[in-house]
Amino acid sequence: MTMQLPPDSVARPDSGPTTPVPTTAPTPPAKMRKVAFASFMGTVIEFYDFSIYGTAAALVFAGAFFPALGDQSATVVSFATLGVAFVARPLGSILFGHYGDRLGRKRTLIATMALMGTATVLIGLLPTSSSIGVVAPILLVVLRIAQGLAAGGEWAGAALFTSEHSPKDRRGFWAMWTNLGGAIANVLALTVYLIVALYMSDATFTSWGWRIPFLISVVLVAVGLYVRLRIEETPAFEAEARRRRDDGGLPFKEAFAHGWRQILLGAGALVMAFSLGYIGIAFLTNYGTATLGLSRPTVLLAGIIGNLVNGLFCALGGTLSDRFGRRKVLLAANTLGIPWALLLFPVLDIGTIGAFYAGLLVTFMIAGTGFGVAGSFLSELFPTRYRYTAAGLSYSLAGVLGGAIPPLVAAGIIGTYGGFFFGVLLAGYCFLGLLCTLALRETRDSELMDV
């Protein structure tokens, strides 16, 4: 009988030809729900820490840490510190991906959560520039890098935990819970900021109230660590570990030797979701208050509703991908993103609350659909041997291109050329996503036990 190898399998001199491991029995539904919940809750808590920084950068950090630069320059630099974490995310994917592929998903996820929680609490305790001068922004950047390293290792591990446990015909649905957790994390972060803003004056909030969301994260991290300590390692990793033992191979080296094309194209396919998603999460919070003159509670409430819509369409995207395929759903989302990117700022500049809601909600609908496919799509692109490293690196590269750059350059482009020209940049991201998705195969029928 002839054995069919997966498309990216390669014969290696150290281990012989790659061969499929027999598929294990499907994970029972009750256990699958437990796995999905653990992944979801872990991501909620981890990305709550990551998300509150974006809101603080939009509302407070320009004045608290960069007052000497003037309003516009301080805003740009504040968003640059947001982008620093995205630059650090690929390094986190390589670092934690190595341990995730060599030592296991579970242990690595515990380490990423501990690092994220520590960095977040320290940001909440950090003195501002008025107290310690230039040391304050330096320490802020260092802690933001630590958050980026943790986030780079977190996503892939959480996504693989659900996808490697789930049955193939529902992998899109179960894997989507990882990014659904990210959307709910944004809701939680914005809700905390809204509550604080409603019960504090703007002066009190700017002075010390912004610290509260950072400090209460210590409770959430404790809950997350408890949940993660109670989950089991994935069957795919255990099968790979038994086959490989300790051959001294480097997952990062293998990922680039055998999967560099999939890493780059996978990242390109998802830049649309990041560019639209993080414009909605971070930049439009600042744009609504500083440019459109909307009140802070109004903008925060719009963000909460927008992220609920983000989560709803994340669930829709993952579910539809099981029926129609990952590729078709990504193609549809990227195609819809092109005209909408051109319309977004003309709609926002109408200046009404209704227009702001419309701009935010449609943006999150399209971004959420793309995010809903990401967990299953990237898990299926790579073999188990270096899946943690490659999937995390691909997702993090998409974050650098789509999540870090647009919020950083938005204020400068809009201030000089207007919102429509910035929309052209966003449309270019969507077009890049369309081309990269077309260059990749459909992955829905991939068997994740192939090692």
Confidence at residue 245, expressed as pLDDT on a 0 to 100 scale:
55
Confidence at residue 1, expressed as pLDDT on a 0 to 100 scale:
40
CA distance 447 to 115: 33
Return the higher-pLDDT residue of 332 and 239. 332
pLDDT at 2 over 50: no
Mean pLDDT (whole number) for 129-156: 87
Residue 311 and residue 400 in contact, taking contact as beta carbons nearer than 8 Å: no
Position 248 confidence tier, pLDDT thresholds 50, 70, 90: low
pLDDT at 122 over 90: yes
Residue 95 and residue 153 in contact, taking contact as beta carbons nearer than 8 Å: yes
Return the higher-pLDDT residue of 223 and 177. 177
pLDDT at 241 over 70: no
CA distance 212 to 220: 13
Closest to 46 measured CA to CA, from 142, 101, 107, 115:
115
Residue 445 and residue 381 in contact, taking contact as beta carbons nearer than 8 Å: no
Sign of CA pseudo-dihedral 117, 400, 394, 327: positive
Confidence at residue 161, expressed as pLDDT on a 0 to 100 scale:
81
Position 267 confidence tier, pLDDT thresholds 50, 70, 90: very high
Kindly report the average pLDDT of the chain as a whole number: 84
Mean pLDDT (whole number) for 417-442: 94
Position 8 confidence tier, pLDDT thresholds 50, 70, 90: very low
Return the higher-pLDDT residue of 179 and 27. 179
Confidence at residue 71, expressed as pLDDT on a 0 to 100 scale:
67
Q: Angle at the Cα of 360 (from 359 to 363), degrees rounded to 5?
A: 85
Position 12 confidence tier, pLDDT thresholds 50, 70, 90: very low
Residue 146 and residue 50 in contact, taking contact as beta carbons nearer than 8 Å: no
Mean pLDDT (whole number) for 56-72: 77
Q: pLDDT (tens digit, 9 = 90+) per residue, 346-394? A: 999 998 999 999 999 999 999 999 999 999 999 999 988 888 889 989 9
What percent of the chain stands above pLDDT 70?
Answer: 89
Taking each helix axis as running N to C, give the angle between helix 326-348 and helix 296-324, from 0 to 180 degrees, rounded to the nearest 10.
160
Q: Which residues contact 216 (CB under 8 A, 6 or more apart)?
A: 192
Position 19 confidence tier, pLDDT thresholds 50, 70, 90: very low
Mean pLDDT (whole number) for 3-32: 50
- Average the pLDDT over each of 68-72, 243-247, 349-353, 404-408 and give the range with the smallest value: 243-247
Closest to 187 measured CA to CA, from 305, 40, 298:
305
Confidence at residue 250, expressed as pLDDT on a 0 to 100 scale:
76
pLDDT at 9 over 60: no
pLDDT at 426 over 80: yes
Residue 277 and residue 160 in contact, taking contact as beta carbons nearer than 8 Å: no
Q: pLDDT (tens digit, 9 = 90+) per residue, 197-221? A: 788 887 888 888 888 888 988 888 8
Return the higher-pLDDT residue of 125 and 85. 125
Reduced to 3 states (helix: H, G, I; strand: E, B; else coil), residue 200 is: coil
Confidence at residue 274, expressed as pLDDT on a 0 to 100 scale:
93
Confidence at residue 16, expressed as pLDDT on a 0 to 100 scale:
39
Mean pLDDT (whole number) for 80-101: 82
Q: Could you say which DSSP state residue 384 is in?
A: G
Domains of the chain (ranges, CATH numbers): 29-439 (1.20.1250.20)
Q: What is the CB neighbour count within 10 angstroms for residue 332? A: 18
Burial of 22 (0-12, 13-18, 19+ CB in 10 A): exposed
Q: pLDDT (tens digit, 9 = 90+) per residue, 99-112? A: 888 777 778 888 88
Position 411 confidence tier, pLDDT thresholds 50, 70, 90: confident
Q: pLDDT (tens digit, 9 = 90+) per residue, 24-53? A: 456 777 778 888 887 887 788 777 877 788
Confidence at residue 384, expressed as pLDDT on a 0 to 100 scale:
82
Residue that is written with structure tokens 């690196």 in the block: 393
